[in-house]
Amino acid sequence: MWAELRDLRDNIDLGTPPREGVEVTVTIDGVPVQVPSGSSVMLAAAKAGKSVPKLCATDTLEPFGSCRVCLVEIEGRRGFPASCTTLVEDGMTVATQSEKLQKLRKAVLELYLSDFPEQDIEGGWSEFHQVLQQCGVTTHPYPRGANHQDAPIDESNPYFLFDPAKCIVCSRCVRACEEIQGTFALTIAGRGFESQVAAGQNQPFFESECVSCGACVQTCPTQALVEKSLFEGGYHRG
Amino acid sequence: MSETAHPHTGTMGEAVLDMERLIAMANQIGDFFAPYPPARRSEGIRNHLRTYWDPRMREALLNYINTQGGKNLHEHVVAGAKALIDTGTDKKGYYGPPQV
Amino acid sequence: MANPIKPDRSVVTTCAYCGVGCSFKAETYQGRIVRMIPWKEGKANHGHSCVKGRFAYDYYNHPDRIRTPLIRKSINDPWREVSWDEAINYAASEFKRIQAEHGKKSIGAVSSSRCTNEEIFLVQKFARAVMGNNNIDNCARICHSPTQFGMSATVGWGAASQHFDSILQADVIMVVGSNPTEGHPVFGSLMKRRIRQGAKLIVIDPRHTETVESAHCNATVHLALRPGTNVAVLNSIAHVIVREKLYNETFVRERCEWDEFELWTNLVGSDRYAPEIVGPQADIDPELIRQVAHLYAAGPNSAIYYGLGVTEHSQGSTGVMCLGNLALACGMFGREGVGVNPMRGQGNVQGGSCLGSWPHVFSGYRFVTDAEVRSSFEQEWGVPLDDEPGLRLPNMFDAALTGHFRGMYIMGEDPVQSDPNQHHVIAAMKSMECVVLQDLFLNETSKYAHVFLPGSSSLEKEGSFTSAERRVNRVRKVVEPLAGYQDWEIVVKLMNAMGYPAHYNHAGEILDEIARLSPAYKGMSFDLLERIGSAQWPCDENAPEGTEVLHTVKFPRANGRGTFMLTEFVPTAERTSDRYPLLLTTGRILSQYNVGTQTRRTANSLWHPEDVLEINPEDAHVRGIKDGDWLTISSRFGSTRLKAKLSQRVNPGIVYTTFHHAKSKANVLTSDLSDWATNCPEYKVTAVEVVKTATGTVSTHQHETFEEAAA
């Protein structure tokens, strides 16, 4: 009855919380797999060994569907649904890789890269970097447009910092602060391009209600939120 | 006890703890067992003292009762303490309500 | 370039701080710890953590760390750095000398709740098998010893009946004298998750704590009772349940002692415990008492979580029994979502309790006076053992002042800062001939020590912790001990130096010895913990992977039944008076941990750089006190200075502070009153007065008697 907590494993991120329920069978890229009903297609794919690339999803948080990377094709359905917010049904057939899906993912990732520090694309090991590698994306074709690369870094907390230049507004931090920690210190302020992670009443982290539990840092896929201790000699934008 | 208490104020023959403290502790124990019927009251005290108090503390208390007649001690505390010496065989210590 | 370094090694271990016992992956880079990441498979925390375990680990590397043993003949001499052999031999020879001159019972030991199960076990073995007495205590004396007493009396074992996850099945959560949001944050988050799902929350606490009200999580009822009235209020709740016949008669008849239940119903059912009488005594609305009674009894699953607000009183044990009585009467045991759960504060204080680091019991809460149990230990250890209970920590200090107690081995504790009535403790320390302190840093107690043995942090040793949910978790070495030895190795050295041959190839062998000698740990071993990560005791042939929920079929008492204890309300002797009209109560804050030895040496001090005194604006106003003013707080026992913080969290008549900083000397104020059964100090009720202070030093009072204070 506590599958969403107790069935978590360290060596795999299932993408959405494990559920309990009657088992159903779905086929992912030709591989049949049994998962409890109420599970997401993303979780079924992970269980089948066919993990779908993802950014805003993680198995410690309820699905959100903002990053648009985890798209799949489902037989008998139109379009390219997000596998994190789509629930399994018995007998479902799913394809996680196809030319069209690869193109779509590449396009989404290139857009993320267009507003990401150029000099940090190579040499990084965050989830975002791993997804880029998984999808074979290394650059983007866009000229320099409006961006967040000069947004101020929040180093108010003694242990971690927030660099908006790397933020993809996936909301994992906001959701972690709500669902896991329960402090509700973070929100996304503004809309569209102006969207930004805000602590408290748009204050520095240290002055907000943030209790420095580190859940947001742990879950951030791009290391926009990151431990200061991982930088010898301080954090410097290139 | 003031900060300027001289080290080793007592010799080994005297009470291991200040008598006032022992009396206060014993009476506190007595207060807990007061709601029980009399026989169970003193048994509860006896069991507690036997199981939890260093023997020198028990000795000091009994000495006090013998020499000062249990002045300042509740009646049932005196009865409970006396039961420590009156019973020939040592009853095994236990948790929970006093058992008679 | 702003790409972080990538850790090259990761070790799963358990947090050194609170009793939740979060599992972490300690990540290192080129041998240095660079990050603590919560471990998703940790059964207590499921991948979550708080600011302390997650970030405040740098204390282990702080320049203040002592890396060489120190000795001195007198506490007025400066410390001298010596070799390990010299320090150990000096300590051993001093202990032997004192025993030869003053008797076997003239020395004793105190173990640490921040050290592993293996280390605590060795320290109590040291006292029993090597010193030859039962003068062994642990810091649970000053926090949860009433839990051990009160729960053993009612249900048989002094430990949480549930695992943490069980709260997700609770419908009514009653938090008494505890502030999980601050003191057990990861558990607090789990609790809030359940409340957001619809469970009701009752909080019994004098203060309007963070648990009472926070984002999307508010208490249905908050009983802001006057400090010192716990038993009256709990009896009053029971009164309503008994008078309105809301108890679970089937459960009581089947699983409890009916005769004791009847005695109990007579007591709590009597008029003096009616809410209309008790409410005014406790400064709460009688209607709220009734509401709590109705909510709790109705359940269907009602769970109690309680802390030091229950235990640190002169009726601490009685308060715990009240909770046991309530839960038994309403049938709230033996399944998920219910139970009575003490929120054990420190990482391994439950271990200390379970492993017999007490003057009156061996491991498993079995009395030293029990010949059968004693002989099993005598056989394993090869020496005859003292058959009488020893001295409790507060009584060790008392006995030091009468000259009967002259030597002490203290591992990982700071009684001078953490124990009450500081003047008394200091006087006692000064009168001892040999104090051996084993710790990471020089602390307040070290000022009165003769031997200082540099210990190891939990990042530098192998062993296990027992958390507040009875979970035995592995502690793994991430870096080599900075001073050269793991704490358990130092205890072994001391044993050998005093003539007792002890040898263990590795810490796992100590856990094996524990398993042979403690029924509840019978199945525990490093092998088991490697395989399944962690296990809750009891772990034996009936439960080879541990037990999540206790009391499902029987209660661990002789007849298998739970029982009821008579809990008459006895007001504390501590009273307010004209001279000391306010009541001081104490507590904890999220970012600092206990006496702050570790967290003050990390950036956590940015959040809580000093202890402050929370005072209600009404009380502040009549005293001309503004926010930020320096105050002198005095009690019958002494005075100290703190900064004022005006706050609506405390009702008029009550002031509140924390005890994380040595310079605040909060324990100069606290009294010599304690729990009747265990001598657990009454930290939560001290009569004080508060005045605005200009500048200059404060002269500390001498101790005043009750009569002087009331004059």
Q: How is chain C split into domains, by residue range?
A: 9-61, 70-139+347-457+483-495, 161-342, 582-710
pLDDT at B15 over 80: no
Q: For C512-541, write each residue's pLDDT tens digit.
A: 999 999 999 999 999 999 999 999 999 999
The token pair at C184 is: 């057990």
Which residues, numbered 572 to 601 in chain C, qualify as contacts with chain A under a Cβ-Cβ cut-off of 8 Å?
590-591
Question: Which residue among A8, A230, A238 places its CB closest to the CB of C34?
Answer: A230
Rounded distance, CA C155 to CA C552, Å? 12
Q: How many CA atoms lie within 13 A of C381 on its CB side?
A: 26
Residue A60: inside a domain: no
Please name the fold of domain C582-710.
Answer: Barwin-like endoglucanases (2.40.40)
Query: Residue C40 carries which DSSP code?
Result: T
Tokens 């471990």 locate to C39
State how far residue C357 is from chain A, nearest Cα, in angstroms. 33
Tokens 């074992």 locate to C157
Rounded distance, CA C636 to CA C670, Å? 9
Residue A79: inside a domain: no
Q: Coil, strand, or helix at residue C640?
A: strand
- Contact status of B59 with chain C (Cβ, < 8 Å): no
State how far residue C231 is from chain A, nearest Cα, in angstroms. 32
- Contact status of B88 with chain C (Cβ, < 8 Å): no
**Read out DSSP for C157-169?**
-SS-SS-GGGGGG
What confidence tier does C565 reach under pLDDT thresholds 50, 70, 90? very high
Q: Coil, strand, or helix at residue C493?
A: helix
Q: For C298-335, write each residue's pLDDT tens digit.
A: 999 999 999 999 999 999 999 999 999 999 999 999 99
CATH superfamily for C161-342 is Dimethylsulfoxide Reductase, domain 2 (3.40.228.10)
**pTM of the predicted structure, to 2 decimals:** 0.94
Best mutation target, B32, B43, B50, to test chain C (most C CBs within 10 A): B32
CATH superfamily for C9-61 is ADC-like domains (2.20.25.90)
The token pair at C476 is: 């793994």
Q: State how many domains chain A has.
A: 1
CA-closest candidate to residue B32, choices C568, C158, C662? C568
Pairing of strands C686-692, C582-587: antiparallel
CATH number reported for the structural domain that contains residue A204 in this entry = 3.30.70.20
Query: Residue C55 carries which DSSP code?
Result: H
Question: Which residue among A180, A211, A223 places its CB closest to the CB of C4?
Answer: A223
Query: Residue C664 carries which DSSP code?
Result: G
Best mutation target, C404, C636, C702, to test chain B (most B CBs within 10 A): C404
Which residues, numbered 4 to 43 in chain C, qualify as contacts with chain A under a Cβ-Cβ cut-off of 8 Å?
4-7, 25, 34-35, 37-41, 43
CA-closest candidate to residue C407, choices C448, C435, C447? C435
- Rg of chain C's alpha carbons, rounded to an integer? 24
Question: Which residue among C154, C359, C427 places its CB closest to the CB of B3?
Answer: C427
Q: Which CATH architecture has domain C70-139+347-457+483-495?
A: 3-Layer(aba) Sandwich (3.40)
- Give the residue from chain B lying closest to C432, CA to CA: B7
State how far residue B7 is from chain C, nearest Cα, in angstroms. 4
Q: For A146-159, write each residue's pLDDT tens digit.
A: 999 999 999 999 99
State how far residue B69 is from chain C, nearest Cα, in angstroms. 23
A26 DSSP β-pair partners: A33
User: Given an 8 Å threshold on Cβ–Cβ distance, is C4 in contact with A123?
Assistant: no
Residue A182: inside a domain: yes
**H or E element in which residue C23 lies:** strand C23-29
- Contact status of C102 with chain B (Cβ, < 8 Å): yes
pLDDT tens string for chain A (238 positions)?
Answer: 689 999 999 999 999 999 999 999 999 999 999 999 999 999 999 999 999 999 999 999 999 999 999 999 999 999 999 999 999 999 999 999 999 999 999 999 999 999 999 999 998 999 999 999 999 999 999 998 999 999 999 999 999 999 999 999 999 999 999 999 999 999 999 999 999 999 999 999 999 999 999 999 999 999 999 999 999 989 988 7
Q: Where are the domains of chain B?
A: 19-86
The token pair at A61 is: 């948080």
pLDDT at C702 over 50: no
As for the ipTM of the complex, it is 0.95
For residue B98, give Cα distances in angstroms to B37, B44, B93, C44, C563.
Answer: 10, 5, 10, 38, 11
Give the mean model confidence (pLDDT) for residues C94-108.
97
- Average pLDDT score over chain B: 83
Best mutation target, A162, A211, A217, A236, to test chain C (most C CBs within 10 A): A211
Query: Residue B65 carries which DSSP code?
Result: H
**H or E element in which residue C475 lies:** strand C471-475
- All residues of chain A having their beta carbon less than 8 Å from the beta carbon of residue C169 are 1
Q: For C595-631, write each residue's pLDDT tens digit.
A: 777 787 888 888 878 888 999 999 999 999 999 999 9
CA-closest candidate to residue C201, choices C287, C289, C305? C305
- Give the residue from chain B lying closest to C671, CA to CA: B1
- Give the residue from chain C lying closest to A235, CA to CA: C2
With a CB cutoff of 8 Å and minimum separation 6, the contacts of C697 are none
Q: For C684-700, write each residue's pLDDT tens digit.
A: 999 999 999 975 444 44
Q: Coil, strand, or helix at residue C320?
A: helix
Residue A143: inside a domain: no
Identify the domain containing residue A215 by its residue range.
Answer: 160-230
Backbone φ, ψ for residue C509 (5° rounding): -70, -30
